[in-house]
């Protein structure tokens, strides 16, 4: 049996064993969901009887998303909304270059603070910007599709 790697999935991909374990657990949680809630039986320490644990819908859905990522062989990174990110971390999350991201900051599109001569961005501000940007892109694409359709360019 493979040894379990101690580091989290933000720096590596899951092993075949971890993929299999995550898929099994994902199926158990998904099958346990009833009326938007999930109850999962888990074995406690020292071979005691299984204890029922009720997950709220939000926790169950979040847990399922994480398990889907692992079971599909993907790594992931969890970022608390209250975290402060470097410009490189923020640029990576937006999938843009750091110089471009600096221009976004300097335009005032995202609030930031400076620590010494380094900029820091709150994750919540970055996520709000990303949501606005994605919404604007979706609206622009929708308008283009409508324009194409009205001109018969389907």
What residue segments make up the domains of the chain, in order of their start?
16-71, 84-150
Dihedral in degrees, nearest 10, Cα atoms 99, 105, 109, 113: 150
What confidence tens digit (pLDDT) does each residue in 119-153 have?
Answer: 999 999 999 999 999 999 999 999 999 888 888 77
What's the pLDDT at 117? 93
From CA 121, how far away is CA 47, in angstroms rounded? 47
What's the pLDDT at 50? 76
What's the pLDDT at 6? 58
pLDDT of 2 higher than 80: no
- Residues 56-66 have a mean pLDDT of 87
pLDDT of 82 higher than 60: yes
Q: Is 69 or 28 the better-scoring residue by pLDDT?
A: 69
Whole-model pTM: value is 0.66
CA atoms within 13 A on the CB side of 92: 9
pLDDT of 3 higher than 60: no
From CA 82, how far away is CA 86, in angstroms rounded? 13
From CA 25, how far away is CA 22, in angstroms rounded? 5
């Amino acid at each position: 049996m493979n040894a379990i790697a101690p580091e989290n999935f933000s720096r590596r991909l899951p092993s075949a064993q971890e993929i299999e374990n995550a898929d099994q657990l994902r199926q158990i949680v998904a099958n346990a969901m009833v009326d938007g809630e999930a109850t999962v039986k888990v074995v406690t320490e020292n071979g005691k009887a299984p204890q029922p644990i009720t997950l709220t819908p939000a926790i169950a859905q979040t847990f399922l998303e994480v398990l889907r990522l692992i079971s599909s062989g993907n790594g992931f990174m969890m970022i608390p909304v209250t975290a402060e990110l470097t410009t490189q971390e923020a640029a990576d999350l937006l999938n843009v270059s750091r110089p471009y991201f600096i221009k976004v900051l300097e335009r005032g599109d995202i609030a930031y603070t400076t620590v010494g001569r380094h900029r820091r961005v709150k994750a919540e501000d970055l996520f709000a910007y990303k949501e606005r940007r994605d919404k604007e892109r979706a609206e622009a694409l929708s308008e283009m599709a409508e324009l194409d359709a009205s001109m018969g360019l389907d």
